[in-house]
Amino acid sequence: MISVLYVDDERAFLDLGKIFLERNGELFLESAQSGKEALEKLRSNSYDAIVSDYQMPELDGIELLKEVRQSYDYIPFILFTGKGREEIVIEAINHGADFYLQKGGSPTAQFAELEHQIKKAVERKRAQDALEESEEKFRSLVENSLEGIIIIDMAGKILFLNRAVGVIIGGTQYKDLVGNCNILSFLHPQSYPAAIRDLVKVAAGTDTYLVTYRAKIPSGEDKWIECIGKKITYGRSPAILLSLREITDKKHTEDRLSRINETLLNLGRDHQENISVLTNLTGELLKADCVLYNRLHERLLCTLAHWNAPPDLKTQDTPEGHICFDVIRGKGSGPLVVLNLQKSNYAKTDPNVAAYGLKTYIGHPVSYGGITRGSLCAVYTHDIKPTPQDMRIIGILSTAIAQEEERSESENALDSLVLETTGVRGQEFFNAAVRWVCNYTGADIAMISELGPDNIAGLRIRVPARGNPVRRHIPQRLLPLPR
């Protein structure tokens, strides 16, 4: 149903119009006999269209049109009058009338034409409203998108950018860049050649593809962005739409993982030197003030490798109270992060906290063989909050150190076994091997056995523990060492 305000100072025309225009049931008319009465009705009601005579006392049709256009949202306005002078038509159009229709002739024909013009004007208005609503929704969607969106012309001048781009470049007045800035001004010079090449390809119609650039924002900070572009039409002119997001953290993580991989591939045969290299790498990648690799040895907490350590650092100390000791004995059952160290209990128990003004501690256990053997820790003299990527990095390097320790221990064990059995043969060789196994593992019993020739389920002892002979062995029964 279309609601129409019909304004005419002649009651006969109002009644006639109501009869003809409402007969199809698509229009509903409300009448007013003067321009002032029409304005009164507009204050309390809304209408889809206004039809008005021109010549009326106090307020003619043109003056009513001016009031409507000044005080109300756009409403289709049709001037329906017996006055057909050209200057009236021009004035009506200049002030925003949608149609001008002259009275006269057959009532059926003229009201049919008026009905057609009303429907046409209202349909156009509704289509325009729908388009504006759609555009507003689209603009809101784009403006509030988590992805950065920029539209540039073919020369790189910024035509549009959304809030997410403002977050990336760190500017609250990012809208001021529209029309006043070139996209290249936000890129690091090393990215210029690639960006120009990619923009030329996209402008030529090449399918979209993902690229990475190094950006330089107004604050001077370097950031990395991932970008994809597509040629579009914007404001009836060719343009390029760029969708981008910041990947600085991702890029840094990839670079750090690449550095770790390169380091691991270049480790040598000296395990202690490798541990030192991995400890140094931890400090560089975590941007720590100092990194320590500590182990327990003969009831002391010993620093076996360090990076950027103070010259007066005590490399051996009783373990109680030290944060690293808590990591080793599993007081957190995994990595340990302590913030605000100066306000923690460690300020009293760990002498390094107060001595070096430490504020943040990140520690990771170094474990192999199911036992925690040491701790890799990064410390800071300022407050930081480690990222998940930081914790991943220190975890990888802790595992690498554990592997070096395990390999070193295995090689030392092999060297010890070779030394123990060198120059002996036969029974004495087996006796030496058993003694070595007992000493190395701390076992109470060690045996070298083989399957019996007549009964594969049985066992025959070749050399028993610690050289004490046992002539026969019954399966499923373990004999204790003689005391």
For the chain, domain boundaries: 2-140, 144-246, 252-412, 423-483
**How far from 478 is each of 109, 447, 464, 482, CA to CA, in Å?**
118, 10, 11, 12
SS3 182: strand
DSSP 437: H
Spell out the per-residue pLDDT of the chain, length 483, in tens. 899 999 998 898 889 888 998 888 899 999 999 999 999 999 999 999 999 998 888 889 899 999 998 888 789 999 887 766 778 888 888 888 888 888 877 888 888 998 999 999 999 888 888 877 777 777 777 777 888 888 899 988 989 888 888 888 876 677 778 888 888 888 888 898 999 898 888 888 887 778 899 988 877 788 899 999 888 888 778 999 899 988 988 888 899 999 999 999 999 999 999 999 999 999 999 999 999 999 998 889 999 999 999 999 999 999 999 999 999 988 656 899 999 999 999 999 999 999 999 999 999 999 988 889 999 999 999 999 999 999 999 999 999 999 999 998 888 888 877 887 787 777 777 777 777 777 766 676 666 665 455 544 444 444 444 444 433 333 333 434 443
pLDDT given for residue 473 in this prediction:
38
Identical fold for domains 2-140 and 144-246, yes or no, is no
- Taking each helix axis from N to C end, the angle separating 11-21 and 107-143, rounded to the nearest 10 degrees, works out to 70
Answer left, alpha or beta for residue 467, where phi above 0 means left and psi between -120 and 50 means alpha.
Answer: left
pTM assigned to the model: 0.59
Pairing of strands 210-216, 237-246: unpaired
pLDDT given for residue 353 in this prediction:
95
- Taking each helix axis from N to C end, the angle separating 388-421 and 248-265, rounded to the nearest 10 degrees, works out to 10
> What topology does CATH give the domain 2-140?
Rossmann fold (3.40.50)
pLDDT given for residue 477 in this prediction:
39
pLDDT given for residue 460 in this prediction:
42
Long-range pairs of 313-322 with CB within 8 A, sequence gap ≥ 24:
313/352, 314/351, 317/351, 320/349, 321/346, 321/349, 321/350, 321/351, 322/294, 322/349, 322/350, 322/352
**Separation of alpha carbons 408 and 414, rounded Å:** 10
| Tokens matching residue 290 | 């100092």
Phi and psi at 214, nearest 5°, equal -95, 120
pLDDT given for residue 480 in this prediction:
41
Contacts of 245 (CB under 8 A, 6+ apart): 146, 147, 148, 164, 225, 226
pLDDT given for residue 445 in this prediction:
66
> What topology does CATH give the domain 144-246?
Beta-Lactamase (3.30.450)
Pairing of strands 49-52, 2-7: parallel
Q: Which one-letter amino acid corresponds to residue 141? A: L
pLDDT given for residue 444 in this prediction:
67
pLDDT given for residue 103 in this prediction:
81
> What topology does CATH give the domain 252-412?
Beta-Lactamase (3.30.450)
Helices (H) and strands (E) in the chain, counts: 14, 18
pLDDT given for residue 82 in this prediction:
73
pLDDT given for residue 463 in this prediction:
43
